[in-house]
């Protein structure tokens, strides 16, 4: 089968013929229909420090996908050929304390699809049945291919009650923009989103942000005053990984404000802890998606009219992957869909 492989320990990806994955007794085999390119894939493409220490070459990469089940292992009774599914990209151990308690998103021994084990940028991918999510009938396949990053947005946003609340999102990348859509759907009042990139801010506005702030031109403090929010934001979603953005969030939270942090800051990020303590802020780190509550919420939000399609800026065939990665690299793309049909 064709697959996008990290063949060599240097920049790039290679479209190659590789053997079809083997299907263990607990696995399902999926014929991939659409995939989406994630920031993680770009790290692997670029062969940055993180990729060098994480990826063992050769590796079929990719974890954002939708496909159709073509066969199931002998132990699998919950799935059958023909179902339209995506995969939870974190394969959990199943027997640590958290897994045993049903808190699989907190497993301390996860393995990543397309990172630690063969991924979905391929004609076929094999996954444990426990990692498979069946989509509602009639779902748009491009939207279905985004359930992994959409899930990051949903998991981060739905940590706190949103109805009537004022929300600050720092970072209008694809995940920040989708989070704006989720906050709107969930009934937040002001949904203010910051970025340095006008194109990304415009996209976030299209998806549901009520006010965009280009931090190179405007001060968040001034926007808070303009909107008449005397006490600051009730909820903060950090989705940039930028220390400057996180610090400006801390400066503009209401007392008792709740922050969920998805963005991954550098090791030496410093904050003013007094703001956390004296303003009694709650800060919660967010990793991945909750299995499978986040997936349930995504399916139901899509069913009830949440539209994330504006986040898709490019639709290409897998043979045009280079164009897709170039668009991601230039910052011109939000989500790039590759078709494998
Ligand atoms: P992205 O890099 O496309 O988006 C980040 C955005 O932040 C960019 O548009 C950038 O211009 C903006 N930004 C940079 N500095 C800023 C500043 N000072 N103020 C405001 N905005 C600023 O990333 P993404 O794919 O949307 O993902 C968002 C973040 O979440 C990334 O940091 C990513 O690494 C992280 N992530 C974490 C998890 C997890 O499980 N914790 C999963 C996926 C992604
Ligand atoms: Zn576990």
Enclosing domain of residue 170: 160-285
Instruction: Work out the angle between the directed axes of helices 147-157 and 174-185 (0-180°, nearest 10).
Output: 60
Question: CA–CA separation, 227 vs 70, rounded Å?
Answer: 53
pLDDT digits (tens, 9 = 90+) for 251-301: 999 999 999 999 999 888 999 999 999 999 999 999 999 999 999 999 999
- pLDDT > 70: percent of the chain: 100
Check whether the bond before 292 is cis (ω within 30° of 0).
Answer: yes
DSSP characters for 227-271? TT-TT-EEEEEE-S--HHHHHHHHHTEEEEEEEEE-S---TT---
Nearest to 89 by CA among 140, 144, 148: 148
pLDDT digits (tens, 9 = 90+) for 205-239: 999 999 999 999 999 999 999 999 989 999 999 99
Q: Which atom of ligand 1 is nearest to the CA of 265?
A: 32
Supply the pTM of this predicted model: 0.97
Same domain for 203 and 220, yes or no, is yes
Same domain for 221 and 136, yes or no, is no
Q: Which CATH number fits the domain that encloses residue 231?
A: 3.40.50.720
Give how far Cα 13 sits from Cα of 7, 60, 145, 310, Å. 7, 9, 20, 27
Same domain for 131 and 74, yes or no, is yes
Q: Which CATH number fits the domain that encloses residue 76?
A: 3.90.180.10
Same domain for 274 and 233, yes or no, is yes
Tell me the sheet residues that pair with 5: 14, 60
Residue nearest to atom 2 of ligand 1 (CA): 173
133 CA distance to ligand 2 centroid (A)? 19
Same domain for 168 and 187, yes or no, is yes
Q: Which among 42, 107, 156, 175 is the best mutation to test ligand 1's pocket, defined by most ligand atoms within 8 Å of the CB?
A: 175
Q: pLDDT value at position 262? A: 98
Q: Enumerate the known binding-site residues for NAD(+).
A: 175, 195, 200, 262-264, 286-287
Residue 321 token pair: 């992957």
Same domain for 41 and 71, yes or no, is yes
Nearest to 204 by CA among 153, 258, 164, 253: 153
Overall number of domains in the chain: 2
Q: Is the CB of 156 under 6 A from ligand 1?
A: no
pLDDT at 135 over 90: yes
Computed over every residue of the chain, the mean pLDDT equals 97
Same domain for 255 and 121, yes or no, is no
Task: Decide which of 243, 260, 285 is a domain's last residue.
Answer: 285
């Amino acid at each position: 089968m064709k697959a996008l492989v990290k063949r060599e320990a240097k920049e790039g990806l290679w479209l190659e013929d590789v053997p079809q994955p083997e299907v263990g007794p607990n696995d399902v085999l999926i014929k991939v229909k659409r995939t989406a390119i994630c920031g993680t894939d770009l790290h692997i493409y670029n062969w940055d420090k993180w990729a060098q220490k994480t990826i063992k070459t050769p590796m079929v990469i990719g974890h954002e996908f939708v496909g159709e089940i073509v066969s199931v292992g002998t132990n699998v009774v919950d799935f059958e050929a023909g179902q339209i599914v995506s995969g939870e990209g974190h394969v959990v151990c199943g027997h640590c304390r958290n897994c045993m308690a049903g808190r699989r998103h907190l497993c301390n021994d996860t393995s990543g699809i397309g990172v630690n084990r063969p991924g979905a940028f391929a004609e076929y991918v094999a996954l444990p049945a426990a990692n498979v999510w069946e989509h509602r009938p009639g779902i748009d396949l491009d939207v279905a291919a985004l359930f992994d990053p959409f899930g990051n947005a949903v998991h981060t946003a739905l940590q706190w009650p949103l109805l009537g609340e004022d929300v600050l999102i720092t970072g209008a990348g694809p995940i920040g923009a989708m989070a704006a859509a989720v906050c709107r759907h969930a009934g937040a009042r002001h949904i203010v989103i910051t970025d340095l990139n006008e194109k990304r801010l415009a996209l976030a506005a299209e998806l549901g942000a009520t006010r965009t702030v280009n931090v190179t031109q405007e001060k968040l403090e001034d926007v808070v005053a303009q909107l008449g929010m005397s006490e600051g934001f009730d909820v903060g979603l950090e989705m940039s990984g930028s220390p400057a953005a996180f610090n400006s969030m801390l400066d503009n939270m209401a007392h008792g404000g709740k922050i969920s942090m998805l963005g991954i800051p550098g090791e030496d990020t410093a904050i003013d802890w007094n703001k956390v303590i004296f303003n009694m802020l709650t800060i919660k780190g967010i990793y991945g998606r909750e299995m499978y509550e986040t997936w349930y919420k995504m399916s139901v939000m899509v069913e009830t009219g949440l539209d994330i399609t504006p986040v898709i800026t490019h639709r290409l065939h897998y043979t045009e992957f280079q164009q897709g990665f170039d668009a991601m690299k230039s910052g011109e793309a939000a989500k790039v869909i590759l078709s494998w049909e």
